[in-house]
Every structure is written in structure tokens, then in C-alpha cells.
Structure 1
Amino acid sequence: MKLQKGQIIELKIEKIVYGGEGLGYYNNEFAMFVPMSVPGDILKVEIISLKKTYGRALIKSIISPGEERISDLNRLTFEDFQGCDFGMLNYESQLKYKRDMVEDVVRRIGKNSIVNIEETLGSPVESNYRNKVIEPFSLNGNEIITGFFKRKSHDVFQVEDNMLNSILGNKIISKLKDILNKKKISVYDEKRHKGLLRHVMVRTNSFNEAMLVLIINDTKISENIKEILKEVMDNFKEVVSVYVSLNDRKTNVALGNKNILICGEKTIKEDISGIHFNISPTSFFQINLEQTRRLYELAISMFENIENKNIVDAYAGTGTIGMILSKKAKKVYSIEIVESAVKDGIKTAKENKIENVEFICGDVNQELGKLIKAEAIDSIILDPPRKGIDEESLLNISKVGIKEIVYISCNPSTFARDIEILEKEGYELVKVKPVDMFPQTSHIEVVGRLIKK
């Protein structure tokens, strides 16, 4: 029987593959990928696309659930789970499959069949852990809503309570929408490039304080918008900082180039390992604070005899990891190419009276070689963006002869690719630990340790 798009078939899910989708075989031979499915599920699915050797389908109903599926069988779709593509799995199983994903790419892409992939370090909080959310505005009839984009779409769907956002963040966004609906403010239409409200961002900290940023399609701020934001602030003593971000560009980037403080403090503070960090609307900061503390503790524990070592924090951003490392290391050299990030790092170090971190503004490729010639460097810590590290940089790191590398990655695929290059250059991968920074999603962080043979 020839399969067709739109056809409803029965399918048993065999396993979860890298990326988080379930895989089953129609008539034991034709591969079918099904989002939000669980191994052991017997499902009725609707085919949405077909290729020569595989297809994709969406769940229509659950005939029999797999053992690892959560008890609520009424939620079937990406939207039902608020965009959380692992929300259908119990948490223990989420951790198991994330470890399996890391093992898959280390073996397949990294071509390493030897190193043991340890169990995933679970998060102490499984929901409401995000200290930063950005939600797009949209209209549902005449009602102003915020929420998530549907899968592979720019259509917005709203949820009662964002299961990942902090509880305080949810309350603030809900109140803001109430006020905006009463005032009947226009919503941005990206096709026509008209309307005012684009996104709302809320950042919260462990001191139960919040920063509210309203992102609008304009070049100036009206008194009406200022009054609305002050009304939100009057309703929440926790809101200590309010900004408007002006973004009149045709872009999918949320924040504009101008972020204007309306009232309150310029920044909110956060604390990791006794170090206070200032967070602005544009600051990069890990979104799951409790697990971030454990991630950094794990990375630091991978350095042997850290008290006697000079360590390079490469791709350092504002120097967060470097400053935390400095609490134990002999000295840390923080290298970052973005000048504003380096200035933020220097300011934070001064505020915290940290004296054994040296900040270097420049390209790692150039600065690392100069540093090695001038100083005795023992180890390096890498925490690059999702795209990983380019081959030239990895070869340069290998050439300077650093004996120990700790690599933190938010993308196991590029981690595995980079590890293969380093192993060809004489390093050995001796430890790999997946870390779950994002419960309910298929995203996984990984920390690895390499030593020079």
C-alpha cells in the first residue's frame, strides 16, 4: 500500500533519535518520525510529509501509551506542551535520552568509541526555572496575547501559565496584557511592518526582583506607554527596573538598538559563588540559575590541582566563568573579542574585589599565542556559542601545547566535531558529563575534559 500525505496510519514508536523526535517503522520497514512521541507508544498518526525513505507524522490519538509517557494523555501536540518538545516524557526518562543523544554524537560525529558518557546531571528544578523570557505579541480576535510561535510558524499561541517562566515573570506578563488590552494598544504586524507592540521581556533574579522590557516598533516613547509601564511597576514591588526597547527594523531579532530606562535601576543583580553580577537588558546570563551553579562547579572540579594553575578562559564573554574560577585558581586570563563585554567584566571584577583575573580584549587566535610566550599557562576552559569553535582556533590551541582543556558546550554536535579535531592533534577525551540546563526540552549541555597525550 502506497502512503500518502494526510493519510492516518497506526504506528509503534521504537526509539527517540537525536533532536528529540520518536521513530517508528510502518510495516516494519518505512521510517516515520513523530514529534512528541515516546518509545512504546502505539499511535494513530497523520502523515504530514513524505520523502523517498522516510516520512513525518503528527499524533492524532494514543492507542496505548509507552511506559515513560506522563500520565496526562490529553496533551498530544507541541502547542499542548507549550513548545516543550520533551514535556511528554517523565523527567527520569528525559535525562536518560539526553545522555543517549550525547553518546550518539560523540560516537558518530566525534568518532570516539572509548570514552564513557556519564549519567546526565539533572536539574534541581524541572519547571518555572527560566530567569529570562521573551514573548512575542499577537492578536486573538481583538485580544492582545503573548506566547510562543507554533512549530515552524510565526503564528503565536497563548498559554495560561508558561511552565518554564518564573512564577513572578508569568504574573508580570499577565498584568501587562490586562493593562494593554484596556488601553487598546496596537500590535505589530511583521508582514505590513505596522503596529506598536513587538515583544515583552522579563528577567528575574534569586532575590525575587524583576526587570521588565517592552519592545516596540517606534523611534520614540509616548507618554501613554510610559504610564502603562509605571502602572505595572505600581502593581509589583518586585519590579525594580523598567525599560522600553526601540526596534523599528524589519527583523526577527527581538531587542532594538536603543534600550531606554523608564524607571527604577539600570540593572538587576545576581549572585553565583559569592560574586555579584549586574544584568542589563542585553546581558548574556544562563537562564537556569540553580543548575548554572552546578554546571560551573562541575567544570571547575574537572581541573586537577587547580590551586596551582594559570588558566585561560577563552571566548569569555563578560568573564563569568573566569571570575568563578578565580576563587580557586592561581590566576585566570579572560580573552574576549567584544569590547563592551570585556568592559562589563572589568567592572564586575572591580566591584567584587577580584584581583587575580586579567582581561584581554582580542581574538583568541592572536592573543593566546602571545600570552603563552609571556606566561606559563597550564589549562584552558572553552565555552563557545552553539556553532562551536572554528578549526583554525582548535589547531592554534593544540600548537601552543596546553596540557589540559575543559570544554563546556550547549551543542553536543559541534562539541563532538571539535573533539575529533583535538584528538587528531594529540589530545585524549577522558571525561564527558551531560548537564540538563533545560528540563522539558530536548536541549542538552555537555562538559568534557581533555588532556594532552
Structure 2
Amino acid sequence: MVLKKDQIIELDIEKLIFGGEGLGYYEKMAVFVPMSVPGDRVRVKIISLKKSYARGIIEAIIKPGEERAADKDKVTFEDFHGCDFGMLKYESQLKYKKEMVEDVLKKIGKLENFEIYDTIGSTSPKYYRNKVIEPFAYKDGKIISGFFKKKSHEVFEVSENMLQSKLANRITKELKEILNKKRIPVYDEKKHRGILRHVMVRTNSFDEAMVVLVVKGEPAKNLKKILYDLRDRCPEVKAAYISVNNKRTNVALGDEDIYVYGDEVLKEELFDIKFNISPKSFFQINLEQTKKLYETAISYFDDVKNKNIVDAYSGTGTIAMILSRWAKKVFAIEMVKSATLDAKKTSMENKIKNIDFINGKVEGKLEELLKKREKIDAIIFDPPRKGIEESVLHSVAKTGINEIVYISCNPSTFARDANVLNEIGYDLLKVQPVDMFPQTSHIEVVGKFVKRT
């Protein structure tokens, strides 16, 4: 039988694939189904067709699989607050994430002889995000905020989001009550009209918050008054900004952040290092799992106390400063100048003296370090999702650095880069998945590579 678009079929889900979709077969045709669980018997509507596979959405769950976390009435991305793994029991999420990492390393990385450990899970798999940005919209004449439905710009709202902190949930709820009383116009991206675009709430481990209201146009006094009213309702708000974004863009924050009241930064501590977080600062969104991630990475260095280590793609210096607590010396290389300046400031405030902060591209600055006869024992990478330029990896190989630790938020590009490293003489010894983003299909990995002798 040939499948047709909009056809309704019944399907048994056999496995999960990388990215989190369930896979079943109908008349030998592969059918991918979001929000499905292995063992599910589902009624599916076909929404797209290719030569060798189809994609469908769940119309109903006939029989739920044993690993399904919620009742069978919840079948959509929105039912699980935009969490593509929310339908799975947590222990199953951890199991499948390990399998996905192993699968891409074998298929993309073409690697076999490495050790992979069970995923390091979280004791708090919900309400863990310390930063959330929500777009505003209208629904039934009311101002709402929330997240975009899958593959659309239609906003959906939930009463309490399962990922963001309890404090952030309460703050956004109170803010919307105030905004609805003031009847501030919501931004319309098609017409490029209106005022309210997004709200960003950042929270810390001290139960304090920063609120940034993103608007189009010059902020009027009534917008600032709204933020003061919010502080009256939520005294945990210790810093408030208005971010002006007048561009037609999907980027949330604008170029200009106007300070309104409170502290200019939100404070956070990680390994006894004090960090200052401003509206645009990068900081990991899950503090508990960040500690586990960095502890794992540092433990992968042999004899770390006697080593000079390069932190490539060092950003605002978080890893470099944590590593400096153990390593002999750290060279932190970062291309973005503002991030390097922020890192220098934080290190001075924390009286850290064994880091050299270097602004520039990794491959060029590595060569400069070696020309200065600096002794480099190891390197740690924590690149963006796109991974590492192949030229950088070849530059590392030329230096003869023996030990590489690689932190990645994208197993696919990690596997691609692992393949390159293997070809130029580095063996992948071990891989540790870390669940930084519970309820989602995203996974961080830490890998250790050593130069082949």
C-alpha cells in the first residue's frame, strides 16, 4: 500500500532516533513520529512524504509504551511545554541519550574502540533553567507569553512551565497581570508595530532575579513604572532593564539595554568563583549539571596540578577560572573581545592570577604561544554547536599536544570532529554524556583524546 498525505494509520513505535523522534514501520516504509515512545501503539496522521520515509503526528495513543511518563491523552509538543522528551520517564531519557551519543559516534565518527558511560542525570529534572526568554502575544484579547509552537511563530502559554525556575514562573505571571491592566500594545512582527516583544528572566541560586523587558520604540515612563510595580509584587527582583529592539529580527534582545533599578548585575557562584551576570552574559542555564559537567572535564586531565592547559573558545572564562583552581597555568583563548574583557574583570575580582587571557583565533594564538616557547601540556575545547574548524584541529596536531578534553553541546559535530582527530593521530578513549537539559533531546558530552604513540 502506498501512503498518502493526511492518511490515518496505526503504527507500533520500535525505537527512538537521534533528535528524539520515534520510528515505526508501515508496509516497510519508515515513519517518524514526534512525541512517541518505544512500545507505543499509536494512531498517526501522515503530514509529509519522501521516497524512503514519512512523518506523522499522533492522533491518539491506542496502547502506551511502558516508558511513557504521562497519561495517553497528552500527545503534542505543546502538551509537554515544548519539551520533546517530556513524554519519557526520566530514567528512560538518560538511557536513550547515551544510546544516541553512541550511535552518532559510530555512524558519523566511524569510531568503535571507546568507552562510553551511563548518562549523568539530574536530581532536579524540572524547574532547572536559570534563564528564560518568552515572546509576548495576544490570545482572546489578553496579553500572554510563552513559547512558539513547533515550526511556527504562534505563541502558546502554560500555567507553569516545567523547565524554568519556580521563581521565574511566578515573576512572568505577575508581570502579565500588570501588563494586562495597563493594556500595553504587543509587538506584531508582520506589521512591525506595537511595543511589547519579549521578557527575559534570569534567576540565581540565591533566589534572586533579573528582569529584562524587551520593547520596540523608546521606553516611556509607564514601562519603567511597570517594572517598579513588579518589584512591589516580587521583591526577589534585584535588577531590572528595558532592552530596546527596533529591528525586524528573530533575535530577542536589542542593542541598547537601559538600566532601570537595582543591581546592575546578577551574582552567581560556581566552585567558589563569583560571577557577574549582565543581560547579555553567557552563563550555563543548569547550575547543578554544570558543576557535574566541569568536574568530569577536569577529572579527564592526568596529573592536572602540574600542567599548562589551553582553554580554547574560552568565552567569558568560566572553564579557565575553574580549571585555574587545579592547573599550574591556563591560557584562555577567545575571539570575541568583549567576552575576553569580561573574563579578565571576573578573574581580577576573584584574585585569580594563573590565567593569561588571549584575544584572537585559536589556531593563530596557539602558534604564537609555541613561538614564545610556552610549554603546553593539554588543551580543552568547549566550542559552539557548529563544532571546531578542521584547520584548528590540524593546528593542534602540529603542536604535538598529547591530551585533549572536548566538551560539546552537539553530539553530531563532536562525532565529526572525533573522526578528524582520529585521522590525524588522536584516539578517543572515553565519553561521558551529561544531561544538562532534562525533558529535551539535547545532551552534552565530555570526551578525552590522547595522541597516538
Question: TM-score category by the smaller chain?
Answer: over 0.9
Match of 1:164 in 2: 163
- 2-structure distance, mates of 1:35, 1:71: 15
Match of 1:112 in 2: 111
Structure 1 unmatched runs, 5+: none
TM-score normalised over the length of structure 1? 0.99
- 2-structure distance, mates of 1:71, 1:163: 14
Identity %: 61
How far apart are residue 397 of structure 1 and its match?
1.1
- The DSSP-based 3-state class of the residue aligned with 1:430 is strand
- The DSSP-based 3-state class of the residue aligned with 1:80 is helix
Equivalent positions of 1:248-267 (< 5 A) are 248-267=246-265
- 1-structure distance, mates of 2:275, 2:251: 25
Counterpart amino acid of residue 292 in structure 1: T
- 2-structure distance, mates of 1:227, 1:18: 47
Deviation string, structure 1 residues 165-191 (Cα, Å, up to 9, x no partner):
000000000000000001111001110
- 2-structure distance, mates of 1:331, 1:365: 19
Q: Residue 21 in 1 paired to residue 21 in 2?
A: yes
- The DSSP-based 3-state class of the residue aligned with 2:115 is coil
- 1-structure distance, mates of 2:79, 2:419: 39
Counterpart amino acid of residue 349 in structure 1: S
Counterpart amino acid of residue 420 in structure 1: N
Deviation string, structure 1 residues 426-453 (Cα, Å, up to 9, x no partner):
1110010111000000000000000111
Match of 1:281 in 2: 279
- 1-structure distance, mates of 2:195, 2:283: 28
Match of 1:238 in 2: 236
2:327 to 321, 326, 329: 329
TM-score normalised over the length of structure 2? 0.99
Equivalent positions of 1:231-380 (< 5 A) are 231-374=229-372, 375-380=374-379
- 2-structure distance, mates of 1:385, 1:125: 25
Q: Residue 418 in 1 paired to residue 417 in 2?
A: yes
How far apart are residue 72 of structure 1 and its match?
2.0
Check the 8 A contact 1:309/1:329 in 2, yes or no. yes
| Superposition RMSD in Å | 0.7
How far apart are residue 5 of structure 1 and its match?
1.1
Match of 1:224 in 2: 222
Counterpart amino acid of residue 334 in structure 2: E
- 2-structure distance, mates of 1:398, 1:142: 61
How far apart are residue 79 of structure 1 and its match?
0.6
Deviation string, structure 1 residues 60-101 (Cα, Å, up to 9, x no partner):
111111111114222110010010000000001000100011
Q: Residue 50 in 1 paired to residue 39 in 2?
A: no
Deviation string, structure 1 residues 363-398 (Cα, Å, up to 9, x no partner):
111101111232101000000000001111111111
Match of 1:78 in 2: 77
Match of 1:128 in 2: 127
Counterpart amino acid of residue 79 in structure 2: D
- 1-structure distance, mates of 2:121, 2:371: 41
How far apart are residue 124 of structure 1 and its match?
2.0
Match of 2:395 in 1: 396
User: More deviation in 115-124 or 340-349?
Assistant: 115-124
- 1-structure distance, mates of 2:147, 2:70: 24
Structure 2 unmatched runs, 5+: none
Deviation string, structure 1 residues 384-434 (Cα, Å, up to 9, x no partner):
000001111111111111110000000000000011111111111001011
How far apart are residue 2 of structure 1 and its match?
2.6
Deviation string, structure 1 residues 3-28 (Cα, Å, up to 9, x no partner):
2111111000010001100000013x
Check the 8 A contact 2:269/2:275 in 1, yes or no. yes
- 2-structure distance, mates of 1:363, 1:43: 51
Check the 8 A contact 1:124/1:291 in 2, yes or no. no
Superposed structure 1 runs of 4+ greater than 4 Å apart? none
- The DSSP-based 3-state class of the residue aligned with 2:78 is coil
- 1-structure distance, mates of 2:53, 2:340: 48
How far apart are residue 141 of structure 1 and its match?
2.1
Deviation string, structure 1 residues 183-221 (Cα, Å, up to 9, x no partner):
111001110000101000000000110000000011x21
Check the 8 A contact 2:265/2:276 in 1, yes or no. yes
- 2-structure distance, mates of 1:102, 1:287: 21
- The DSSP-based 3-state class of the residue aligned with 2:56 is strand
Match of 2:191 in 1: 192
- 2-structure distance, mates of 1:52, 1:127: 39
Counterpart amino acid of residue 396 in structure 2: I
- 2-structure distance, mates of 1:398, 1:234: 58
Check the 8 A contact 1:404/1:452 in 2, yes or no. yes
Aligned length: 451
- 1-structure distance, mates of 2:361, 2:11: 52
- 1-structure distance, mates of 2:263, 2:21: 43
- The DSSP-based 3-state class of the residue aligned with 1:105 is helix
Deviation string, structure 1 residues 242-280 (Cα, Å, up to 9, x no partner):
000000000000000001110111101110100000000
Q: Residue 41 in 1 paired to residue 49 in 2?
A: no
- 2-structure distance, mates of 1:280, 1:97: 36
How far apart are residue 235 of structure 1 and its match?
1.4
Check the 8 A contact 2:113/2:429 in 1, yes or no. no
Counterpart amino acid of residue 107 in structure 1: K
- 2-structure distance, mates of 1:73, 1:148: 23
Equivalent positions of 1:413-452 (< 5 A) are 413-452=412-451
Check the 8 A contact 2:381/2:405 in 1, yes or no. yes
Check the 8 A contact 2:312/2:382 in 1, yes or no. yes
How far apart are residue 153 of structure 1 and its match?
0.4
Deviation string, structure 1 residues 317-346 (Cα, Å, up to 9, x no partner):
011000000000001111111111111111
Counterpart amino acid of residue 12 in structure 1: D
